[in-house]
Amino acid sequence: MSKKLILLLSVALLSGSVTFSQIHKMERPDTSLTERYYTLNPVVVTGSGHHQRLKSTATPVHVLSSREIKEQGITTLDGALTRMMPQVSMSPNSMGTFLRLNGLGNKYILILINGQKVTGDISNNVDLNRINMARVKRIEVLDGAASSLYGSDAIAGVINIITDQPTRDLVSVTSDTRVSGHGQLTENIALDIYKNGFGSYTSFSRDQADSYRINDVEYVKGSDTETQPTIAPLFTGYRSNLVGQKFTYAPDEHLALNAGIDYSYKITDRPDTRKDITGGTDYEMRYKGLRWNVGGIYKFTSRNSLQADFTVDRFRYGKQYDVATKTYAIDDYVQSKKQRSMEAQLKAILGLMKNSTTVLGADWRKDYLTATSGNIHQNAYTAAAFAQHEMTFFDRLTATVGLRLTYHETFNWHLTPKATLMYAPGNFRVRATYSAGFRAPGLDELYYHYFSVNRGKAQIIFGNQELKPEKSNYFSLNAEYRTNLIAVSVTGYMNRINDMVIRQNIDVDAASLAMLQAEFPEMTADQAQKLERYSLYKNSDKGDVKGVQVNVSANLFQGFNLSANYVYTYARSYSDEKWTPLERSFRHAATVAANYYHRWGNYGLNVNINGRLQSKTYYPDYEDAPGYGIWNLNTSHSFDGLKHLYLEPSIGIDNIFDKVDRRIDSSRRKYALYSPGRMLVIGLKLKIK
């Protein structure tokens, strides 16, 4: 073995931090775990808007590599984020996945696939089943405001899913299956063809789970002692399919073209309504998405390129009845919401001087919303131009300045600047960041005139056309030290948001009830009698998030890596002349992972133990959810001695210590832990090449 390769492998074994010393696996065509080559600095794009090594970016970026995700036995996006990033939390329900990053919720988090925004939400909850994990190369997470590069919504941060496809001559078929308790199944199948610069990548993904609850009773409404049986699920089951096709063509080293399309279908699987017990529903929620894009990049030289992309994303959902009612028959479908977006981007990356990179760009986006229950048929467009310049001085000091000018059809002009500074003497990195954020209120927040009935109770929401855009100012300071034995990173940050848009609940009195009956004549007398409150969108005074992140990684001996990540988050909002914790926020969280790998000939063994520990979750209007600690074990066994077949079975245990939240449901109670308890997990990956 050459000295260069020995040195590369030795250094690679001393890496492993999720946050600051990520490694990117470069595999042989069979993707075997038994032969791996590492580099300490993966190429990232989210922080600066252009490709550069992780250690060179002046804006800190968290990177979750496909190798690390696989080692932990993770097959879903929410699993990758929550198991590997303590600043992220998820709350699954029938209306999607409620995602939080550093205390701030879904609408402040911009989710991208290869830099293109993902459209489609259900009551501001993201449908993460639209993300095909089989194609994920890495996940890049940028904390804090990033509107100078990415525009509206990037106040809490950006999650950019970078996909991968082979770029060498091959024809291969891959199947990756994972099965566990409560009907949980993920299946990913891929067909990859690459020949003479042309690539075709076809994929199918199946994800499903059964509904479950921890206990079979709930408190009777208005009582803290009397219980009754119920079948209402704590976790809502679902069936989800995702089909994708992508084509690429690179005739030479200068030009690369791509086109792709993805279709997604998801339906919930909840208990049906029954007369003898509460908690069932008459209908399932059904979701459909269709996304297609075309794009290309032309490289004039290695440091000068022009990139163009055009994306159309459609998403809709509604109610599909599986119980006959007075109004609907079985299989009737009632659409609730339809969204569509069109986005065009043009970006130039220029190396105008030896030690600098300049990014110039423009984008245009138009969003459409049709909501039957909300009585909306609206659209709005946004146009923007942005520029960013990065310069390195004296080989140690790197400065970045950026500015975005945005015109929103409803809210006119907005400027969002960014400035970063990185000083890198020896093994140290010190980074300081300021960035401004901007979020235009959504079409639903502006125009909703919403009326719906859920379990016999009316739900009413009013939009507000007097809303103002939300603005934020984000500051962070990062210090990092790395040697061949240990890596430590500490980041402190502060994110301040003005004019936060919230949904205010208003108690119903005699005068407001008369107004509501006039606005919604379809509301019955019985529904009006049960109506206690309605909601109105408004601008709250401000939000304030402060926090500290600590990341440590070390290799204690060859093949064994230990990493730990801790966050402290103090998130609150000021409204009605008082400060309150942001709903679903928590103060302390940590993730820990220990990974061991060894091989004997054609057999490779990988053992991973990982855990998430979290303090209590705040619910200002409800009972706080208690903290928890979840530990998981995953082992994989790879066999690559066969000529045309790669085989990798896996077995593990989720929630080793059977940690569950056994509190009884009540109208004042919320949950943070949704695990059903200890489960055996079995997987099998096959690749024919």
pLDDT in tens, 383-406: 999 999 999 998 899 999 999 999
For 486-525, the DSSP string reads: EEEEEEEEEEEEES-EEEEEEE--HHHHHHHHHH-TTS-H
Domain coordinates of the chain in residue numbers? 3-688
Distance (Å, rounded) from C-alpha 582 to C-alpha 574? Answer: 9
What is the pLDDT averaged over residues 62-77? 87
Distance (Å, rounded) from C-alpha 232 to C-alpha 211? Answer: 9
**Please, are residues 416 and 436 in contact by the beta-carbon 8 Å criterion?**
yes
pLDDT value at residue 455: 67
Could you give the percent of the chain with pLDDT greater than 90?
50
* Correct CATH for 3-688 of 2.40.170.20, 1.10.1740.110, 1.10.1040.50, 3.10.20.740: 2.40.170.20
Q: Residue 686's Cα: distance from chain center in Å? A: 27
pLDDT at residue 656 greater than cutoff 90: yes
pLDDT value at residue 655: 96
Distance (Å, rounded) from C-alpha 12 to C-alpha 3? Answer: 14
pTM here is: 0.88
Confidence of residue 30 (pLDDT cuts 50, 70, 90): very low
> 3-state secondary structure string, 442-472?
CHHHHHCEEEEEECCEEEEEECCCCCCCEEE
pLDDT in tens, 496-552: 999 998 888 888 888 888 898 888 888 888 888 888 889 999 998 789 999 999 988
Q: Residue 26's Cα: distance from chain center in Å? A: 25
**Please, are residues 517 and 534 in contact by the beta-carbon 8 Å criterion?**
no
pLDDT value at residue 52: 73
What's the one-letter identity of residue 244? G
Choose among 16, 20, 11: nearest CA to 550.
20
**Please, are residues 637 and 603 in contact by the beta-carbon 8 Å criterion?**
yes
Distance (Å, rounded) from C-alpha 153 to C-alpha 414? Answer: 13
Confidence of residue 93 (pLDDT cuts 50, 70, 90): low
What is the pLDDT averaged over residues 102-125? 82
pLDDT in tens, 226-270: 999 999 999 999 999 999 999 999 999 999 999 999 999 999 999
For the chain, the straight-line distance linking the first and the last C-alpha, in angstroms and rounded, comes to 27
pLDDT at residue 120 greater than cutoff 80: no
Could you give the percent of the chain with pLDDT greater than 70?
91
pLDDT value at residue 374: 74
What is the pLDDT averaged over residues 342-350? 95
pLDDT at residue 32 greater than cutoff 50: no
Neighbours of 454 (CB within 10 A): 8
Distance (Å, rounded) from C-alpha 490 to C-alpha 488? Answer: 7
Q: Residue 513's Cα: distance from chain center in Å? A: 40
Q: Where are the beta strands (DSSP E) in 196-332?
A: 198-209, 217-219, 227-229, 237-249, 255-269, 283-301, 304-321
Confidence of residue 96 (pLDDT cuts 50, 70, 90): low
Please classify residue 577 by burial: count the beta carbons closer than 10 Å to its beta carbon, then call 0-12 exposed, 13-18 middle and 19+ buried.
exposed
Confidence of residue 124 (pLDDT cuts 50, 70, 90): low
Q: How high is the mean pLDDT of the chain?
A: 86
Confidence of residue 142 (pLDDT cuts 50, 70, 90): confident
pLDDT value at residue 15: 32
